């Protein structure tokens, strides 16, 4: 866990800021209509780390053969295909076995039931555990000496520090520099989402 205040105010290679992503859903309009009512529009609550992405006020319940999890946040904007992202510990509660995948790679992923105030959506596939990944622009990638889809390791400093392997670099012009991990990884390494971690190649 980096303590240097200069780095905390402005990221400097090889350090990157980290954000913790809790369980959430991305919805397509057809499923918004089922869950919340025909023609319903999700209500923006607050911006999140990537430009144009935001948390919504609306929540849903996830159900699997082993149990359910309530108050799961919807994120905007709408997607072409509904996607549910959970941590491994969530999957155990639900009694499902989602694969570790990139966002949007849903073919053959786990089935899940989504329950809203107006209706229920039963997905044959769509639930994943998101891979550890770092968003960056092409300029960032050049500065950090990495490339799109590269797998790197990341050093976490601090009392529960260690090394995270299999971290995917994602490069796009409209990305903001940020590493995304789920709550299981955050808890394992003692991270809260206000730290910097170090890319080690």
Q: Distance between CA atoms of 193 and 71, rounded to whole angstroms?
A: 21
Domains and CATH numbers, the chain: 5-20+132-200 (2.40.40.20), 22-130 (no CATH)
Which residues contact residue 93 at a Cβ distance below 8 angstroms, ignoring those fewer than 6 apart?
64, 66, 67, 69
The per-residue pLDDT for range 148-166, each reduced to its tens digit, is 999 999 999 999 999 999 9
The DSSP output letter for 10 is S
pLDDT tens-place string over residues 93-136? 999 999 999 999 999 999 999 999 999 999 999 999 999 999 99
Q: Nearest-5° angle of CA 36, CA 20, CA 153?
A: 135
């Amino acid at each position: 866990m980096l303590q240097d205040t200069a780095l905390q105010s402005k990221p400097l290679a090889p350090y990157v800021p980290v954000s913790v992503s809790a369980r959430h859903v991305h919805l397509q309009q057809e499923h918004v209509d089922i869950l919340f009512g025909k023609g319903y529009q999700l209500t923006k609550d607050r911006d999140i780390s990537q430009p144009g992405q935001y948390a919504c006020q609306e929540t849903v319940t996830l159900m699997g053969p082993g149990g359910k999890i309530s108050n799961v946040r919807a994120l905007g904007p709408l997607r072409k295909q509904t996607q549910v992202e959970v941590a491994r510990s969530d999957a155990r509660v639900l009694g499902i076995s989602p694969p570790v995948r990139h966002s949007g790679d849903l073919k053959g992923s786990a089935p899940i039931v989504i329950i809203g105030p107006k209706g229920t959506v039963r997905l044959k596939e769509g639930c994943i555990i998101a891979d550890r990944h770092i968003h960056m622009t092409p300029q960032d990638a050049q500065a950090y000496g990495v490339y799109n889809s590269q797998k790197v390791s990341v050093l976490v400093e601090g009392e529960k520090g260690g090394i995270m392997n299999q971290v995917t670099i994602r490069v796009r012009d409209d990305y903001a520099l940020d590493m995304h991990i789920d709550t299981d990884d955050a808890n394992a390494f003692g991270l809260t989402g206000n730290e910097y971690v170090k890319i080690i190649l």
